[in-house]
A and B are shown apart, each in its own frame.
Chain A
Amino acid sequence: MAKATFKVPVLSQYPEVPAITPGSMAHSTPFQAKPEFQAALGFPGELVENWQERAIEKMGELLTRYRSLRVYLDACVKCGACTDKCHYFLGTQDPKNMPVGRQDLMRKVYRRYFTVAGRLFPKLVGAEDLTKEVLDEWYSYYHQCSQCRRCSVFCPYGIDTAEISMAAREIMDSIGVGQKYCNEIIGKVYTVGNNLGLPGPALVNTLEGLEEDVFDDTGVHVRYPIDQVGAEVLFVTPSADFFAEPHVDGLIGYGKVMHESGLSWTFSTMASEAANFGLFIGSYENMRRVALRIREAAIQLKVKRIIFGECGHAWRVGYGFLNSLAGPWDFLDPRYPVPQHICEFTWDLIQQGRLTLDKSQNDDKVLTFHDSCNVARASRMGDEAGGQFEIPRAIIRATCNHFYDMDEETIRDRTFCCGGGGGLLTDDLMELRVKGAKPRMEALNNVIQEKGVTHMAAICAICKTQFSKVLPFYGMEMDQIISLHQLVSNAIVLTPREDDDDGDEGAQSRAENADEPD
């Protein structure tokens, strides 16, 4: 069991809605971004002098930019349907972590400055001035929302708290109050090219090592090319996939699938990050700037298709926003969606009978599947609504003999966030992350007890990192979370190529090519 300085929730067999405990998470507050990191994103370094005025001005601007914000601040009737839906509320009991409680932190300011009722009768309608206390509360509680959209599923008006959290973070950034984790990471994408700050040569080196490992392991020369001009497919994946566990086992799987497909493909140092943290801070401009790197890489490398690796919020931006932010993609092959998800690609190959899969290779595992929040509720795979649930499960069934779903109320569009999404995957929020994982841990624990499940597969870099960190707090093992494409990787029977008796040549030619586009 991992050490905790706070009380780790006790898992129960039947989920219970806790009684509210006001203020129980008021102390939770992430580190603030230093001035130099703020500047890179176009934000003031520290709290500006006339911050109150500027914040209200920014709020007014966002109200004219986003219909969602305007309508959602007006429409809530306080029916309470969302109050027991947020994993952070269920794990912390803090009523300001109820979606409506979180929204009201902004709604009370909106009413005070932007509505007749709030200007005339603030007490009656719960309107409040934007004071320093309110700002601190915003900073704390708008960084206790993982923008997972579970609340929006149950709201009779579809109010999405993520929209409000994003707006709040953008307002705070605009007056110099930024969050260290998100803003430093975006800065790294601008300067180095990915969230983890892995420079190009390090990526080349890592991929070379992987090629050797896979060759040693399988005797087949599977290539992991990078910056290869003229490749058919640009592969964009979260940078954690290049080296973190269990992510990298998924990346090995992508390479094997691409190998079997026979298509030429390449990673890119320019677009060595699928995730787009611009989403988390609600900044269209920053989100666009990050997304344009993918366009630039696609043009430079003269590719015809783009495929995304396993990543939740990245897939939201990829599937839902990439066309708006960095399109049109008319220079790519129009026969394929832009971008395509690796699960769509793998499933297509399986359906065409082009992958030979030996399910027994995964017989040491009993699987369940965690629907990542932003894949589940903010995107799609395939042509049918709900493909984002069916396709990953179909891949698991095609690669494993033992698979059980968790409780219906905790999967598909009712899935619980892992507890680390939306820019909260940072050590300074560990208490929140552990407590927020409770509903998912509960459902997982139940299938472990009842069905003998040994592993949970996921298709999101944040989910994977978060679960490997929090599983031990709940008495489980960190390696019980695995990449979906690790299962594919285990089961796939590779087709040898002609040059497989000479393992070094391919790696060399790839390394030479690596320098070209720079």
Chain B
Amino acid sequence: MPFLTVLYAYLFYGAALVFVSGLTYKIVQYTLTPAPLKIPTTPAPTTRGGVVLRMTREVVLFESLFRGNKWTWMFGWLFHFGLFLVTLRHLRYFLNPVPAFIEFIQPFGVYAGFAMIVGLVGLWSRRFLVDRVRYISSRSDHLMLGLLLLLGVSGLVIHFLFHTDIVAVKTFIIGLYHFDFNPLPGDPVLLLHLALLAGLMIIFPYSKLLHAPGLFFSPTRNQVDNPRERRHLAAWASRLERS
């Protein structure tokens, strides 16, 4: 068995373990931490259904960001929607047989790769061009953008310039499900692409990428505006009433 295959196999087992356990830990932590007071940013929906709609608009359309800054919204949405399509497209390397829907979106997924790059370049340039955004950017913010950009570019390079034996790649990935190590092609760009992906998975639960689960737990967005109708009390606050 080639050394690289074993290395990458264990890299992905490790990355998946960190990703899943780290994310689970954070989600459990968020779930268990109470929100003792009703703090939705108003005007807010007065029903559960309304909150589902509000959250959907936030998740799908980035409604608040749209109101906040049109440039950041445009680049941010391009990047995220691009990434979403690209991720869907990549499911064909992970599923056997490939669902019809995933087959269908294959060509769009390639365009989405470019959209993703445009979005990232736009977002990154704001970190240099806008003095306020430059001020708040730390090294990790730049590195994160670099990582994602390199991930996207290397993917497009594999697709358009230096093809890899994609069938072998898929065999390698599917094999990992059963601890069955199949040889991974040794193309450098592919190896870079996969290493970056593993890196992304590893830092996800320990970085600002937590904004993804965080949004769903944001009390200013996910609370129903009904404090006068329903009494809202956290467990630790109800203990004050007994003392």
Q: A residues bordering B, Cβ < 8 Å?
A: 17, 19-20, 22, 63-68, 70-72, 74-85, 95, 98, 100-101, 104, 115-117, 123-126, 149, 152-160, 163, 284-285, 288, 319-324, 327-328, 337-339, 376-380, 383-386, 388-389, 413-414
A81–B72 CB distance below 8 A = yes
Give the A-B pair count, Cβ closer than 8 A: 221
Q: A residues within 8 A CB of B215? A: 75, 156-158
Q: How far is the CA of A80 from the CA of B136 in the complex (A)?
A: 8
- Interchain CB contact (< 8 A) of A71 among B38, B67, B135, B214: B214
With A115-B206, A153-B64, A385-B42 as known contacts, state yes or no: A76 contacts B211, CB within 8 Å. Answer: yes
CB contact between A378 and one of B39, B140, B229 (< 8 Å): that residue: B39
Interface CB pairs A-B, < 8 A, 17: A20-B131, A65-B36, A66-B33, A67-B34, A68-B218, A70-B29, A75-B214, A80-B69, A80-B130, A81-B64, A83-B130, A98-B135, A158-B218, A324-B227, A380-B43, A385-B42, A385-B50
Interface string of B16-58 (1 = CB under 8 A from A): 0000000000100110011111110111111000100000001
B residues less than 8 Å from A68 (CB atoms): 35, 39, 218-220
The answer to whether A156 and B217 have CB atoms under 8 Å apart is no
CA distance A324 to B206 in the complex (A): 34
Stretch from B84-92, B108-116, B167-175, B233-241 forming part of the interface with A: B233-241
Q: Which residues of B contact A319 (CB under 8 A)?
A: 227-228
Instruction: Give Cα A319–Cα B138 distance, bound, in whole angstroms.
Output: 39
- For B217, the closest partner residue in chain A by CB is A71
Q: Which 6 A-B pairs have the closest CB atoms?
A: A154-B68, A75-B214, A81-B68, A158-B220, A385-B43, A80-B133
Interface size class of B (residues with CB under 8 A): 35 or more
* Residue B143 lies at the interface, judged by CB distance under 8 Å to chain A: yes
**Chain A residues near B143 (CB-CB < 8 A):** 124
A385 to B62 Cα, complex, angstroms: 20
Q: Is B132 an interface residue (CB 8 A)?
A: yes
The answer to whether B231 and A324 touch across the interface, beta carbons within 8 angstroms, is yes
B41 touches A95 (CB 8 A): no
Assess the B62–A156 pair: CB atoms within 8 A.
yes
Contact B211 A78 (CB under 8 A): no
A65 touches B43 (CB 8 A): no
- Decide yes or no whether B232 CB sits under 8 A from chain A: yes
Q: Are A71 and B30 in contact (CB under 8 A)?
A: yes
- On chain B, the residues within 8 Å of A328 by CB distance are 231
The residue that B39 contacts in the complex, of A82, A117, A160, with Cβ under 8 A, is: A160
Q: Is the CB of B136 within 8 A of A100?
A: yes
Contact call A154/B211, Cβ cutoff below 8 A: no
Q: Which of B36, B67, B221, B228 contacts A337 (CB 8 A)?
A: B228
- In angstroms, Cα B130 to Cα A79, docked, is 11
Given the contacts A75-B210, A156-B65, A385 and B225 also touching, CB distance less than 8 Å: yes
Query: Does B237 contact A379, Cβ atoms closer than 8 Å?
Result: no
A327 to B138 Cα, complex, angstroms: 45
Give the distance in Å from the alpha carbon of A488 to the alpha carbon of B36 in the complex.
Answer: 37
B residues in contact with A414, CB < 8 Å: 67
Residue among A123, A158, A380 with max Cβ neighbours from chain B (10 Å)? A158
Other contacts beyond A74-B211, A156-B211: 11, CB < 8 A: A68-B218, A71-B217, A75-B215, A80-B133, A117-B206, A125-B207, A155-B68, A157-B218, A323-B228, A388-B43, A414-B67
Q: Give every chain B residue within 8 A of A82 (Cβ-Cβ).
A: 68
Chain B residues contacting A95 (CB-CB under 8 Å) are 132, 135-136
CA distance A78 to B64 in the complex (A): 15
Chain B residue numbers with a CB within 8 Å of A284 are 36-37, 237, 240
Docked Cα-Cα span, A399 to B38, in Å, equals: 33
